[in-house]
Amino acid sequence: MNFSEVFKLSSLLCKFSPDGKYLASCVQYRLVVRDVSTLQILQLYTCLDQVQHMEWSADSLFILCAMYKRGLVQVWSLEQPEWHCKIDEGSAGLVASCWSPDGRHILNTTEFHLRVTVWSLCTKSVSYIKYPKACQQGMAFTRDGRYMALAERRDCKDFVSIFVCSDWQLLRHFDTDTQDLAGVEWAPNGCVLAVWDSCLEYKVLLYSLDGRLLSVYSAYEWSLGIKSVAWSPSSQFLAIGSYDGKVRLLNHVTWKMTTEFGHPAAISNPKTVVYREVEKSPPPGLGHLSLPPSRAGARPLTNAAASESKYEVASVPISLQTLKPAADRANPRMGVGMLAFSPDSYFLATRNDNIPNAVWVWDIQKLRLFVVLEQLCPVRSFQWDPQQPRLAICTGGNKVYLWSPAGCVSVQVPGEGDFPVLALCWHSSGDSLALLGKDHFCLCFLETSKDVGAAFGRRDSCT
């Protein structure tokens, strides 16, 4: 396992291109594009102000940089570096900007969500969509890029409009039986649209592409409801994380609940493996052990640096560290706030916000708890390898954690000074991982499955 040198970064803006060839990062008002294989700078662009949002086009040919404070969007081309585009929303302001799936249109949301402006890079034409709703997740595209669902608010009622992305014509428009619509999300197969209400009312509505209501699900009433929603990659399950600390799985056949997963503070099932992170002092007199760097600028991982933390199998029953939420404040730290399916839909990873140090991994085939990983610090982020069931976790410290069915490992990011890892970003091939800090980032290389197995073997991994 190797690490690159550390590069400067601002606002956690670092993303791999969809084709996996490039890595873009922002340093204040500069956009830096590197070659993934060598990490050499290919292009350096200067924006008009500090970048607050950066996004690749789907074909990896263009990069969008949004400067919300100035109401500006700049677009840069990799094929023609001298070409650039500037979009100024003027007095309307700007609060969000994104690419359309074809990579040739940009959708800007103005201040106060007065409208969505669709700008064409090819024809320079402009289209307007009125009444977009200001909510948690009000816009969603189907995976094939053919349709867009947009949440709207008109006359104190919620609506959803479905547009054809090729010409932005309205395909369907229907009202939703929600008090305060919070988000929309397409199933990966593009056949079903999930719409859910705010946390004040537990309600999930499922619509077909032509706007027919397929099912309505509500687990309970008169209490805080939905906190997170995720589709399985197979489109067979919809996972709903709730404020009551449970995840409920709806199946795609009947749209009824298949099972629910609780997150108790005490784990007593002897079949559940609990990995607990513990501090470990480096053994005295141990020499420098490393793998030979196989990439330009890669730093070998020293055994001494990596041995400061490890996982141990905890004896069951075990009690996890809990956090008592403040009941008199908005958005209490309770309930399932993070959930994500593995790319093969075999596993589901979750975090219950009032047990912030633990990551729960559920076996979806057997519908049971598979593994719990208890960290020393609260979990900030986790993300699945896009190619296999391997989970990367960060806690805001200078370590990154990897779990797979074969075992788990704690790795300290080498280098001088402190490097708090605040976010993660996998390469599409799964052989490298970008570790993002407040002011810097670096890459972690997992070259081959053989190297990864060796890395798991070198640590005190437990199977």
- Check if the beta carbon of residue 22 is closer than 8 Å to that of residue 35: yes
Q: What pLDDT, in 10s, does the model give residues 5-52? A: 999 999 999 999 999 999 999 999 999 999 999 999 999 999 999 999
Q: What is the DSSP string of 266-321?
A: EE--TTSEEEEEEE-PPPTT-----PPP-STTEEEPPHHHHTTEEEEEPPSSEE--
| Mean pLDDT, range 76-84, rounded to an integer | 95
pLDDT at 306 over 80: no
| Mean pLDDT, range 305-313, rounded to an integer | 74
pLDDT at 446 over 80: yes
- What does DSSP say about strands 257-262 and 246-251: parallel, antiparallel, or unpaired? antiparallel
pLDDT averaged over the chain? 91
Residue span of the structural domain in which 92 resides = 55-130
Instruction: List beta partners, residue 377.
Output: none
pLDDT of 129 reads 97
When pLDDT is cut at 50, 70 and 90, the band that residue 1 belongs to is confident
Would residue 84 count as lying in a domain?
yes
Would residue 74 count as lying in a domain?
yes
Strands (E), 342-439: 347-352, 358-363, 368-374, 381-384, 391-394, 399-404, 407-412, 423-426, 432-436
pLDDT of 304 reads 34
pLDDT at 88 over 60: yes
Written as six digits, the tokens of 247 are 């995840």
Written as six digits, the tokens of 31 are 């956009």
Q: What pLDDT, in 10s, does the model give residues 422-438? A: 999 999 999 999 999 99
Would residue 181 count as lying in a domain?
no
Q: What percent of the chain has pLDDT over 90?
A: 86
Domain count, the chain: 1
pLDDT of 294 reads 43
Would residue 290 count as lying in a domain?
no
Would residue 398 count as lying in a domain?
no
Would residue 94 count as lying in a domain?
yes
Written as six digits, the tokens of 441 are 């980032």
- Check if the beta carbon of residue 28 is closer than 8 Å to that of residue 68: no
Would residue 7 count as lying in a domain?
no
pLDDT of 227 reads 97
**Nearest CA-CA partner of 361 in 376, 346, 380:** 346
**Nearest CA-CA partner of 402 in 414, 416, 415, 388:** 388
Instruction: List beta partners, residue 446.
Output: none
Q: What is the DSSP string of 73-100?
A: EEEEESS-TT-EEEEE-GGG--SEEEE-
End-to-end CA distance of the chain: 20
When pLDDT is cut at 50, 70 and 90, the band that residue 413 belongs to is very high
pLDDT at 172 over 60: yes
Rounded distance, CA 101 to CA 117, Å?
A: 15
When pLDDT is cut at 50, 70 and 90, the band that residue 448 belongs to is low
3-state secondary structure (DSSP) of residue 434:
strand
pLDDT at 351 over 70: yes
Q: What pLDDT, in 10s, does the model give residues 316-328? A: 999 999 999 887 8
Q: What percent of the chain has pLDDT over 70?
A: 90
Would residue 29 count as lying in a domain?
no
| Mean pLDDT, range 271-287, rounded to an integer | 79
Rounded distance, CA 111 to CA 284, Å?
A: 59
pLDDT at 116 over 60: yes
Residue keyed to tokens 């800090």: 437
Higher per-residue pLDDT: 368 or 301: 368
